Protein backbone atom coordinates (compact mmCIF):
# COMPACT_ATOMS: atom_id res chain seq x y z
CA UNK A 1 0.00 0.00 0.00
CA UNK A 2 2.83 2.40 0.86
CA UNK A 3 4.51 1.63 -2.44
CA UNK A 4 1.30 2.38 -4.32
CA UNK A 5 0.83 5.72 -2.56
CA UNK A 6 4.47 6.65 -3.14
CA UNK A 7 4.21 5.71 -6.82
CA UNK A 8 1.04 7.78 -7.22
CA UNK A 9 2.71 10.74 -5.52
CA UNK A 10 5.74 10.49 -7.81
CA UNK A 11 3.52 10.36 -10.89
CA UNK A 12 1.62 13.48 -9.77
CA UNK A 13 4.85 15.36 -9.07
CA UNK A 14 6.35 14.43 -12.43
CA UNK A 15 3.17 15.44 -14.29
CA UNK A 16 3.03 18.80 -12.54
CA UNK A 17 6.67 19.43 -13.45
CA UNK A 18 5.77 19.00 -17.14
CA UNK A 19 3.08 21.69 -17.06
CA UNK A 20 4.34 24.97 -18.45
CA UNK A 21 3.52 28.16 -16.63
CA UNK A 22 1.99 31.02 -18.57
CA UNK A 23 4.30 33.89 -19.35
CA UNK A 24 3.70 36.83 -17.03
CA UNK A 25 4.01 40.46 -18.08
CA UNK A 26 7.24 40.59 -16.10
CA UNK A 27 8.52 37.54 -18.02
CA UNK A 28 7.56 39.25 -21.26
CA UNK A 29 9.45 42.42 -20.32
CA UNK A 30 12.58 40.43 -19.50
CA UNK A 31 12.40 38.30 -22.65
CA UNK A 32 11.68 41.34 -24.79
CA UNK A 33 14.52 43.39 -23.36
CA UNK A 34 17.01 40.58 -23.87
CA UNK A 35 15.57 39.29 -27.14
CA UNK A 36 17.99 37.36 -29.29
CA UNK A 37 17.10 36.91 -32.92
CA UNK A 38 19.35 33.85 -33.26
CA UNK A 39 20.37 35.05 -36.70
CA UNK A 40 24.11 34.96 -36.20
CA UNK A 41 26.75 37.64 -36.68
CA UNK A 42 25.10 39.37 -39.65
CA UNK A 43 21.88 39.80 -37.68
CA UNK A 44 23.20 41.53 -34.56
CA UNK A 45 20.51 42.66 -32.12
CA UNK A 46 23.15 44.65 -30.23
CA UNK A 47 23.19 47.16 -33.10
CA UNK A 48 19.79 48.32 -31.85
CA UNK A 49 20.24 51.09 -29.28
CA UNK A 50 18.97 50.71 -25.73
CA UNK A 51 16.49 53.59 -25.95
CA UNK A 52 14.75 52.12 -28.99
CA UNK A 53 14.70 48.66 -27.41
CA UNK A 54 13.16 50.02 -24.23
CA UNK A 55 10.59 52.10 -26.11
CA UNK A 56 9.57 49.12 -28.24
CA UNK A 57 9.31 46.72 -25.27
CA UNK A 58 7.22 49.27 -23.34
CA UNK A 59 4.87 49.63 -26.30
CA UNK A 60 4.40 45.86 -26.49
CA UNK A 61 3.91 45.61 -22.72
CA UNK A 62 1.25 48.34 -22.88
CA UNK A 63 -0.55 46.34 -25.56
CA UNK A 64 -0.38 43.15 -23.48
CA UNK A 65 -1.73 44.99 -20.46
CA UNK A 66 -5.03 45.51 -22.31
CA UNK A 67 -8.01 43.15 -22.33
CA UNK A 68 -8.85 41.24 -25.50
CA UNK A 69 -11.79 39.04 -26.43
CA UNK A 70 -9.61 36.40 -28.05
CA UNK A 71 -6.13 35.37 -29.12
CA UNK A 72 -6.45 36.85 -32.62
CA UNK A 73 -7.17 40.34 -31.29
CA UNK A 74 -4.14 40.14 -29.04
CA UNK A 75 -1.90 38.91 -31.87
CA UNK A 76 -3.19 41.68 -34.16
CA UNK A 77 -2.32 44.24 -31.48
CA UNK A 78 1.26 42.90 -31.44
CA UNK A 79 1.42 43.32 -35.21
CA UNK A 80 0.12 46.88 -34.91
CA UNK A 81 3.03 47.78 -32.61
CA UNK A 82 5.53 46.44 -35.11
CA UNK A 83 3.88 48.37 -37.96
CA UNK A 84 3.87 51.55 -35.86
CA UNK A 85 7.63 51.27 -35.33
CA UNK A 86 8.63 50.05 -38.82
CA UNK A 87 10.30 53.27 -39.95
CA UNK A 88 12.07 53.82 -36.65
CA UNK A 89 13.41 50.27 -36.49
CA UNK A 90 14.67 50.41 -40.08
CA UNK A 91 16.63 53.60 -39.54
CA UNK A 92 18.16 52.49 -36.22
CA UNK A 93 19.14 48.92 -37.15
CA UNK A 94 16.47 47.41 -34.91
CA UNK A 95 14.49 45.34 -37.41
CA UNK A 96 15.66 42.01 -35.98
CA UNK A 97 14.94 43.15 -32.45
CA UNK A 98 11.48 44.38 -33.45
CA UNK A 99 10.64 41.11 -35.19
CA UNK A 100 11.83 39.00 -32.26
CA UNK A 101 9.92 41.21 -29.80
CA UNK A 102 6.76 40.80 -31.86
CA UNK A 103 7.22 37.03 -31.77
CA UNK A 104 7.51 37.11 -27.96
CA UNK A 105 4.39 39.29 -27.80
CA UNK A 106 2.52 36.76 -29.93
CA UNK A 107 3.75 33.90 -27.73
CA UNK A 108 2.28 35.72 -24.73
CA UNK A 109 -1.06 36.00 -26.53
CA UNK A 110 -1.05 32.31 -27.47
CA UNK A 111 -0.39 31.31 -23.87
CA UNK A 112 -3.15 33.48 -22.43
CA UNK A 113 -5.87 32.65 -24.95
CA UNK A 114 -6.30 28.92 -25.49
State pLDDT tens for residues 61-104.
999 999 999 999 999 999 999 999 988 888 888 888 889 999 99
pLDDT of residue 42: 43
> What percentage of the chain exceeds 90 in pLDDT?
46
State pLDDT tens for residues 23-66.
899 999 999 988 765 554 444 556 788 888 899 999 999 999 99
Nearest to 64 by CA among 39, 100, 95, 101: 101
Nearest to 38 by CA among 104, 111, 91: 104
Where exactly are the structural domains of the chain? 22-112
Answering whether pTM is above 0.85, one says no
Terminal-to-terminal C-alpha distance of the chain: 39
Nearest to 23 by CA among 114, 113, 91, 112: 112
Amino acid sequence: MRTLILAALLVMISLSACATAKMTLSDFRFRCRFADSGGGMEDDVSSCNFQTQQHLCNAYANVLNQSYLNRDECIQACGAVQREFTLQTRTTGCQSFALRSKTICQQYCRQHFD
